[in-house]
Amino acid sequence: MVEFHRAKQPDEKQILRKIEEARKSVERCDAIRRGHLYPEMNPERMKGTISKSAVRYVRKDMQNAASELSLPTRFKTIVRLSNVLQYVTFPYFMILIATSLFRMILPKPWNFIYSPYVVLPMFVLATMFLVLKQYVGRGLNKYVDERSRGQSRDRNLKEIAQQCIYDLARQISNSGQDPKKFKFRIFHTDYDGISIESKPGLVRSYYVAFAILGKHKEVAMKKS
């Protein structure tokens, strides 16, 4: 007697994991288009989302970005110093504010943090951190702006990000999930098949959107 075994269906965790990876691909492709760097991103993992030629293009663009990013030694030193100042001053002022809000006074020998000889130097270090943070931010933003220029590059990366959006919508539609559960952050809004939920504000510089189901089917029908 011959037994027929059904193909093992992916469980819900696997389905959600694939949808989450597709959502991250949308964010990363759009961010790369903006000029951001994603050193932890592996373009090979996007083979199931975009075409092989698109994977090669993203890989080449990231390699070019890595070779172009030759920051001077002084800038790298400033970045390290800014990070150290952040790690030193942020916890200190968090403890100071927390103890003040709850009207607590730390016992000896920890009560030295209230001394003017400690508060004033820490205030100076915090000011230095804010100044250096602004300097570093301007330097990196200048590099990002230079990277994002070029019509052919922008057009190609837009098409790749659009493929990721269609793939995300297809996976959500096939699984019966709610697209609003898989929102993504983007810097550009000129994509087809997305709905913008919130715009940039004082704190964030990106849009929050989700995929519109059905658009990917229309595109597939036009191609066929």
pLDDT digits (tens, 9 = 90+) for 66-116: 555 555 667 767 777 888 888 888 888 888 888 777 777 767 777 777 788
Residue 89 burial (C-beta neighbours within 10 Å; 0-12, 13-18, 19+): buried
Q: Residue 65 — pLDDT band, cuts 50, 70, 90?
A: low
Amino acid at 29: C
Q: For residue 221, is pLDDT > 50?
A: no
Q: Residue 198 — pLDDT band, cuts 50, 70, 90?
A: very high
pTM of the model: 0.59
How would you list the strands of the sheet with 184-186, edge to edge? 184-186, 207-211, 194-198
Residue 222 burial (C-beta neighbours within 10 Å; 0-12, 13-18, 19+): exposed
Return d(Cα 140, Cα 152) in angstroms, integer.
23
